[in-house]
Amino acid sequence: MTIVRIATRTSDLALAQARMMAGELERVLGVATELVPLKTTGDRLQGPLTKVGGKGLFVKEIEEALLDRRADLAVHSGKDLPAALPDALELVAFPERADPRDALVTRPSGGTLAELHRGARVGTGSVRRTALLRALRPDLEVVPLRGNVPTRLRKLESEGLDAVVLACAGLERLGLADRIDERLAPEAMLPAVAQGILAIEGRRGDAIAEDARALGHAATSLQAIAERGVLERLGADCNVPLAALAEPAEEGLRLRACLADPSGAPVLRAEASAGPEEAAELGRRVAETLLASGGEALLAALREAGT
């Protein structure tokens, strides 16, 4: 029987996601699978990723394993993917999306963002979450937070935090949905591009990559294409507080996006709708609106600050 080698990061969440996709490949394609766990540069580094290369650090070693044929497919969290991919690789499937929203976990449990006291310490490792938290609640102390999901939950206690913000999808996939105290509405905390979406990557033209397209979910694929259209047009990376969420609408797709200064002001917002066949163009159009409303200057300032 054919054995399909699946490259993945070594975190608890990444392994859980890879195992889930391995099970689907076995069920749908009738193949055997084997995980190829790899520790990426982003996993090894302890400091802020914005200073050392951004979100591509979570996929570099995994893509190298695909390129040199140590692996046949890779499973990524969609929000970890940079705008540009190697020419020889492609994203072949986006399985059905989990809850894209951000989750608030509080200490003690049962709290909400609105109920956090002035000066409450909230942990996050995301520049997007930092910027939007500061925009919503400038009275909060936002604390930088690194580590996998269980580590971040432990730091809620060990570092004296009042709350942490994580992804609902990650907590659900680890069986930790009961730790979610509030699912933050997109109107308040717009999610990251492709948050809650898994992406299967393969070598362009490989038979197994073509076969893996069977794991794709049509509606999720359109959402990923539209949201990544914003990311690609802006050329944004990990030091850019960018959010985008595409959802079903009467016209086909409704896409909301925002681009923020890390301080929380300004927060630039754009929204548009289009038919499903225009998903990529919809992303570009929303990105152009952000650029025209001050995003070009904001991106230039962010890139200068990151050099």
Q: Is the dihedral of CA 200, 204, 207, 213 positive or negative?
A: positive
Of these residues, 72, 80, 99, 181, which one is catalytic?
Answer: 80
- Contact status, residue 66 vs residue 201, Cβ threshold 8 Å: yes
Known active-site residue 211: no
Cβ count near 67 (within 10 Å): 13
Structure tokens at 52: 């050392």
Report the C-alpha gap between 35 and 75 in whole angstroms.
Answer: 10
pLDDT above 70 (res 48): no
The pLDDT value given to residue 306: 72
- Domains of the chain (ranges plus CATH)? 1-95+197-216 (3.40.190.10), 102-184 (3.40.190.10), 217-307 (3.30.160.40)
* Residues 138-158 pLDDT 10s: 999 999 998 999 999 999 999
Comparison of pLDDT for 185 and 42, the residue scoring more: 185
pTM of structure: 0.94
Q: Is the dihedral of CA 93, 98, 102, 103 positive or negative?
A: negative
pLDDT above 70 (res 307): no
The pLDDT value given to residue 50: 54
The pLDDT value given to residue 2: 80
Instruction: Give me the chain's average pLDDT, please.
Output: 94
Comparison of pLDDT for 239 and 124, the residue scoring more: 124
* Residues 179-213 pLDDT 10s: 999 999 999 999 999 999 999 999 999 999 999 99
The pLDDT value given to residue 49: 54
- Contact status, residue 80 vs residue 102, Cβ threshold 8 Å: no
pLDDT above 90 (res 52): no
The pLDDT value given to residue 225: 98
